[in-house]
Amino acid sequence: MAFQMVMTNRFGHLAFGLFLRGGTAPTLFTVRLFEPTPAPTPTTKNISSLVEIPNGNGYSPFNIERSAVGWPTWVEDDSNVWNTLISKTVGWVPTSSGIPAVGGSGNFQYAVLADNSGNILAYLDYGEPQAFGPGQPIDVTQLLVRSVPNS
């Protein structure tokens, strides 16, 4: 199952800059888990404005390479007037005391797709704070990023 992420305005800005102005493409993408507050919005620009859960107990940023391996599904759908990218499988398996690691100020609520510069490209809201015990997988499965034109 693919989980649809909310694409940020920053993603569009960077994509247009790359495609139309010859900007520099990211070399790597990461998926990171963030605490409930502050919440990302379509106008949140950088991961430095959010609170990431601490690394440890099976959690660290998940890398998605900039290639067909990292993004195996790419579809232009003229009947629905959108484009879809789906990532490789993303997930973590908590160890020890679970995720988030001890020392975190809270549970996570958001999975955020960022580039290697920390720009937030898209995010997924789990709807409420989450915590996972040892051996209980955090399975995002695949991330779906879909562009839908304004109507």
Q: What is the largest CA-CA distance in the chain?
A: 49
Q: Which pLDDT belongs to residue 150? A: 56
Q: Which pLDDT belongs to residue 95? A: 83
How would you class 103 by CB atoms within 10 Å of its CB: exposed for 0-12, middle for 13-18, buried for 19 or more?
exposed
SS3 106: coil
Along the 151 residues of the chain, how does pLDDT read in single tens digits? Answer: 556 788 899 988 998 899 899 988 999 999 999 998 899 999 999 999 999 988 888 889 999 999 989 888 888 888 877 778 788 888 888 887 777 765 555 588 899 999 999 999 999 998 888 888 888 888 766 677 766 655 4
* Predicted TM-score (pTM) of this structure: 0.85
